[in-house]
């Protein structure tokens, strides 16, 4: 039987062999999470995902229903929602004090991989709830934590994030929602928000909205934005629900994908009765929102990976079962499964290489989170925290770009059937597209990489990231079978360093616009280099395992790691070199062409 959602053998490989996650248990904080416990957690998550959440994928695509301000979610969501909350899966890596399980972030990511791959639209509600809770934990006062935190982390209440307005999309500083201070210290909010995932639904008795708004008289732009906690229903002192808080849903979007996720338009204070509490300091809303935003951007990359791994598993199973056409070198033997055809194999290997590298990158980000938590000194904590910052544009931007490509290959392997809604890869392709837009478009991620992350802290975190790549290259050069691949990667690594310095220098000079026109190509080249590093790391891990005389059943798996790395380095990095040359040339056509030259009005 084909494996649904994800390849469990690869999940275990990355967790235990590449990332050596059980090393975390040497620290008292994670002492109870030994290998047996970790494997049990992943197995239980896999079981819930396959048995309960995956069956909601197709019927959930029918979407949500809006009627008179109320939103009803797909009926099939109710049972898995209850089981998900009952199993305490929402806050796996968070403190038990507030309803979490206190497990390593890396292990939580492995469990969530199955949930996201089963139905990413269903999981959006939980992801946003966790993000809202994290913000309360980080910057909320004690009263706010007592009121909201446990109910959010346990999933009793849901959470959202209210940023976008019709006049303020990526330019959040242009928002028009206002907050007027009341005598009791609360604020009356007034305004409208759009594209609010999970902004209204009937799955929880209350929804907590972190809202960006401008206090009357505050400075213009992002400097004058504050953050507020606005519940759907006000909360009484004893924790019970009070009056409706004048947060009205005025409609839901009809979208290309993720239709089971209600994307709402909300009006706050249309009757003058919307009350919120200041979360954090006045005029520090954007800074505080980025506590949630950075986690959210990493989550979006994870969501892209979730649909990509599911598409790959479907395509692989289909290619093994679908009989069509003769083998190229043995035509007399009749029709064969399409996995025997060279171009199908090429596409499958493209999918596998990208999915494998995504998994390694996301689990590595989990290791970074865990090391931040366990760090005994500020220097170590900052090392891993800043490494996460450097990697965030790659996780969010490059991963979601590649996820959409992977899902496109999934449709292609199915052929005409893949384009039909009778097969899951069609929905996965539609679902994948939004992740290139969510939480700052990938163009914004690219600008962040060039404009902030490359030069952050005098370039030290970025150079430390590159040093990790070089360390793996140097290790691989000592292994006879990997030395040629390491040499090719080293050549690209050297060229990349030269181009980054050149482009970063230009970005600070007169050709700043031409430099930023190359920011997305730079993000792509950075992603290519990162994926090649991770795949070489995998191959190095596999070669070490092969040297130890593994079980016969594991031989093909480890050999596959080496061949996947070879395929990626020999094929993708050749394109990367061309891209780096184009970046360095910094062609001025993008900036130099007049608006009229783009086409007639």
Active site positions, annotated:
439
CA–CA separation, 310 vs 7, rounded Å?
9
363 close to 93: Cβ distance less than 8 angstroms: no
Tokens of 262: 């209600």
Burial class (CB within 10 angstroms; exposed 0-12, middle 13-18, buried 19+) of 459: middle
Tokens of 179: 């907050």
CA angle 155, 159, 161 (to 5 degrees): 155
CA 114 to chain centre: 14
Residue 492: its H or E element: helix 483-507
Tokens of 144: 């706010």
Burial class (CB within 10 angstroms; exposed 0-12, middle 13-18, buried 19+) of 110: buried
Q: Give the DSSP per-residue string, 430-486.
A: HHHGGGGTTTS-HHHHHHHIIIIITTGGGGHHHHHHHHHHHHHHHHHTTSTTTHHHH
Phi first, then psi: give them for residue 161, nearest 5 degrees: -150, 115
> Is the C-alpha dihedral spanning 115, 121, 122, 123 positive or negative?
positive
């Amino acid at each position: 039987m084909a494996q649904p959602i994800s390849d469990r053998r690869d999940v275990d490989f990355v967790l235990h062999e590449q990332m050596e996650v059980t090393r975390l248990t040497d620290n008292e904080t994670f002492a109870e999470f030994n290998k047996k416990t970790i494997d049990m957690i992943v197995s239980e998550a896999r079981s819930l995902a396959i048995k309960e959440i995956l069956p909601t994928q197709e019927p959930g695509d029918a979407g949500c229903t809006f009627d008179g301000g109320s939103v009803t979610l797909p009926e099939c969501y109710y049972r898995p929602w209850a089981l998900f909350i009952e199993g305490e899966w929402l806050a796996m890596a968070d403190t038990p004090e507030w309803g979490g399980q206190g497990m390593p972030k890396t292990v939580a990511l492995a469990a969530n991989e199955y949930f996201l791959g089963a139905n990413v639209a269903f999981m959006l509600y939980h992801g946003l709830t966790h993000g809202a809770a994290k913000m309360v934990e980080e910057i909320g006062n004690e009263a706010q934590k007592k009121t909201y935190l446990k109910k959010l982390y346990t999933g009793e209440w849901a959470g959202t994030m209210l940023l976008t307005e019709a006049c303020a999309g990526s330019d959040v500083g242009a928002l028009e929602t206002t907050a007027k201070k009341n005598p009791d210290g609360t604020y009356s909010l007034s305004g409208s928000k759009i594209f609010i995932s999970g902004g209204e639904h009937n799955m929880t008795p209350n929804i907590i909205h972190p809202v960006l708004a401008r206090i009357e008289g505050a400075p213009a732009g992002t400097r004058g934005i504050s953050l507020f906690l606005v519940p759907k229903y006000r909360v009484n002192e004893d924790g019970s629900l009070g009056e409706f808080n004048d947060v009205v849903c005025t409609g839901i979007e009809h979208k290309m994908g993720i239709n089971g996720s209600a994307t709402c338009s909300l009006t706050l204070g249309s009757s003058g009765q919307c009350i919120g509490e200041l979360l954090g300091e006045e005029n520090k809303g954007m800074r505080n929102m980025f506590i949630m935003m950075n986690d959210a951007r990493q989550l979006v990359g994870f969501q892209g990976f979730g649909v990509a791994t599911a598409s790959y598993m479907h395509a692989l199973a289909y290619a093994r079962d679908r009989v069509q056409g003769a083998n190229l070198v043995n035509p007399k033997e009749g029709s064969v499964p399409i996995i025997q055809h060279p171009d199908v194999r090429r596409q499958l290997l493209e999918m596998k290489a990208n999915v494998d590298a995504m998994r390694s990158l996301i689990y590595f980000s989990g290791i970074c989170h865990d090391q931040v938590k366990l760090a005994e000194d500020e220097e170590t904590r900052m090392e891993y925290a800043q490494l996460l910052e450097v990697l965030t544009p790659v996780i969010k931007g490059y991963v979601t770009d590649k996820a959409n490509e992977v899902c496109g290959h999934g449709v292609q392997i199915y052929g005409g059937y893949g384009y039909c809604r009778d097969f899951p890869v069609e929905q996965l392709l539609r679902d994948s597209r939004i992740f290139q837009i969510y939480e700052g478009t990938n163009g914004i991620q690219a600008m962040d990489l060039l404009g902030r992350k490359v030069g952050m802290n005098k370039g030290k975190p970025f150079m430390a990231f590159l040093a990790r790549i070089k360390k793996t290259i140097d290790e691989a050069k000592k292994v006879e079978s990997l030395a040629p691949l390491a040499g090719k990667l080293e050549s690209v690594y050297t060229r990349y360093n030269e181009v980054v310095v050149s482009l970063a220098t230009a970005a600070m000079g007169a050709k700043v616009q031409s430099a930023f026109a190359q920011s997305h190509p730079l993000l792509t080249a950075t992603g290519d280099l990162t994926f090649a590093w991770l795949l070489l790391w995998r191959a190095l891990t596999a070669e070490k395992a092969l040297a130890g005389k593994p079980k016969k059943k594991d031989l093909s798996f480890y050999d596959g790691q080496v061949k996947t790395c070879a395929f990626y380095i020999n094929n993708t990095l050749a394109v990367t070199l061309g891209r780096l040359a184009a970046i360095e040339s910094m062609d001025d056509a993008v900036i130099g062409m007049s608006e009229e030259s783009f086409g007639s009005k």
